[in-house]
Amino acid sequence: MTDNSKRTGAAVEAHYQFLMWLIPAIEKFPRSHKFTTGDRIHSLALDVLESLIEATYTKERLPHLRKANLGIEKLRFLFRLAVDLRLLDRRRYEHAARTLDETGRLIGGWMKFHSDSAVAKNAATA
């Protein structure tokens, strides 16, 4: 594994690594849930990655970061549902929860940095 976080950003890289773990984990879901709950988790996780990439390459980052942060929160609930339905064991659930918390903290820090920058910029022009 190479360290791409310098090029893409820590939040993007953390979520990419989460997806590398997630996709094979979803493949182990029972057929009755793989194409419903599993697809929803998979799609939502990809949406979060897309939002983080968009935030990396656009000037107005905050809307994309808010969307990614909301996606992380939705994923937390879907993983809770998956463990309650016994689609995931506790060990995998704990790994997912820790990883989502880490990514959420990275996104939160990124949002704080840009909201503080916007406040400072507005104060300088006033």
One-character DSSP codes across 63-116: HHHHHHHHHHHHHHHHHHHHHHTTSS-HHHHHHHHHHHHHHHHHHHHHHHHHHH
pLDDT at 115: 81
pLDDT at 126: 57
1: helix, coil or strand?
coil
pLDDT at 114: 82
Q: How confident is the model at residue 9 (pLDDT cuts 50, 70, 90)?
A: confident
pLDDT at 4: 61
The domains of the chain, with CATH numbers, are: 8-125 (1.20.1440.60)
